[in-house]
Amino acid sequence: MSQISHIPPVLRELALPVIASPMFTVSYPELVLAQCKAGIVGSFPALNARRPELLDAWLGDMKRELDAFKASNPGATVGPIAVNQIVHASNVRLEQDVETCIKHKVPILITSLRAPVREIIDAVHAYGGIVLHDVINLRHARKALEAGVDGLIVVAAGAGGHGGKLSPMALVGEVRRIFQGPVALSGAIATGDAILAAQAMGADFAYIGTRFIASEEANASDAYKQALLRASAADIVYTNLFSGVHGNYVRESIELAGLDPDRLDVADKSLMSFTDGRSKAKAWKDIWGAGHGVGQIGDLPPVREIVARLATEYLQARIRIAAL
């Protein structure tokens, strides 16, 4: 990537302008390390480490492995690690997990649901890290920028998991009217030409999740991965039933849970699971998150092959556009 003045140094030297999204129950160290070794940002939710002590161990182990990889491959482009923190009262581990990230000087913190407090941002800035924040509308973007975040992850319609409802063209355009810093776009990005399209809209990076669930390294069941190969965009259901926050899920998993995807109730925001008298379905264990890009996924290769393919498609798209 070229060095652009508004891009923080930690994001300037990537093999491809891609940030892998942190996926609950899916993004574990094996996947994150493969993403970083492929030259993109690898990320995971802090809560994937089921105990706070495990998060500490994971970060130490991953740093050692990446350091060894860099030493053995001096010419390789190695992406940074990002850790997702859920900024919400229900996350009783937030303070402890942030302290662990600060201890390990995690290069990138990705915050979700609510904008982080200034103390978190200042602590990350103190060692040279940056904070990116998920937003689904302009109001959320303004709040995050007022809090002092370094960049925005614009979660548009079609994004897997907790996705928004707005068109990526509209949302990126509105965000760019108030913010000229780093922006990543999330929403149905599964190919290299979609990465270029995100940049053409005004984003700097593509934020990709579902494509990496369908990989060898993803901590997802074979049934989950196979369901992604069978699904198309029309098989993704948008509901808040399973986590209390609207998100996109695979229709097949909802049906396997004994529910009718076309007749789902609206949940209270405090609802974290659902019991319909026959089954108990929990996001993300039983109900599988995925974005509208599933119809463009047809195999389950290792991450390095996915990134290499994305890079080839991205280059081909740039050549094609230049020839117009």
pTM: 0.94
What's the average model confidence in pLDDT over 293-302?
97
- Provide the pLDDT for residue 283: 67
Residue-wise DSSP of 22-71: P-TTT--HHHHHHHHHTTSBEEEEGGGSSSHHHHHHHHHHHHHHHHHHHH
- What residues have CB less than 8 Å from 39, skipping those under 6 apart? 14, 15, 16, 76, 77, 78, 79, 307
> 276 falls in which pLDDT band (50, 70, 90)?
very low
Give CA–CA dist 59/225, Å, rounded: 26
Residue 280 reports pLDDT greater than 80: no
DSSP state of 248: E
In the prediction, which pLDDT does 285 show?
Answer: 80
Q: Give the pLDDT confidence score for residue 242 in this predicted structure.
A: 87
pLDDT reported for residue 2:
43
For each of the domains in the chain, give its residue range(s) and CATH number, in order of start. 9-219 (3.20.20.70), 232-281 (no CATH)
Select the more confidently predicted residue: 243 or 56. Answer: 56
Can you give the pLDDT at residue 244? 83
Q: What does the pLDDT read at residue 161?
A: 87
d(CA 122, CA 128): 10
Residue 32 near residue 42 (C-beta atoms within 8 A): yes
* DSSP assigned state of 99: H
DSSP state string for 103-156: HTT-SEEEEESSPPPHHHHHHHHHTT-EEEEEESSHHHHHHHHHHT-SEEEEE-
